[in-house]
A and B are shown apart, each in its own frame.
Chain A
């Protein structure tokens, strides 16, 4: 797996856009960027993934730089319920489980939404 680097924590005001950066400078051509989040001690929740084009779904947008060495997850209107640890993971498509499949959850970014 390519390693990712994320800031350990970030604050964002409620109602504002939360922009979470991720560096993955050693990403391979067949590796996707995945984002998950973990609210308190619940099981992680899938948010979004992409290869090289920007992606948007009902939860968030994913912006990947042209050289694919970094990406940004955008929560357009953060709410208090978005307070969580956000994990940026790079992995070949289909290999999302870990072990021989190659996915590893790192330390992530603890996003705190302030009222």
Chain B
């Protein structure tokens, strides 16, 4: 059973607001990831981290930012949300060489 949690599950917010999507895992995994997925479309990696103080951009350019101050926590922030940011954001973690464990996702709607 995967122990990776995302909050909020659903968020509806107005344009220009700052939002932070939380992701926490209790498995002690060093590697963590954020994927973005529009309905019915492919997953795209937007950020990943190899461990504390490590953050890298993924294949898909994103206006969001991430931080990794603690091993278990990998929050994603949008400083000024826009309708184009409406999507589902999926967090995942893994051991080095292990499979990905995903959270249940955060579905963001920006009006």
The interface of chain A, by Cβ under 8 A from chain B, is 34, 36, 41-46, 49, 93-94, 96-101, 103-107
Contact = CB atoms under 8 A, between A and B. Distances in A.
A96 B42 contact: no
B73 interface: no
A90 to B, nearest CB: 14
Interface in B44-85: 45, 48, 56-59
Nearest to B39: A41
Question: Contact residue range for chain B?
Answer: 20 to 34
The 8 closest A-B pairs by CB, nearest first: A43-B102, A98-B45, A94-B97, A46-B99, A105-B43, A99-B58, A97-B33, A43-B90
Interface of B: 31, 33, 35, 37, 39, 42-43, 45, 48, 56-59, 88, 90-92, 94, 96-105, 107
B42 A97 contact: no
Contacts, number: 64
B105 A98 contact: no
Chain B contact residues: helix, strand, loop or mixed: strand
Contact of A46 (B39, B56, B100): B100
B27 to A, nearest CB: 13
10 contacts: A41-B88, A42-B105, A43-B102, A44-B100, A45-B102, A46-B101, A96-B98, A97-B31, A99-B56, A107-B42
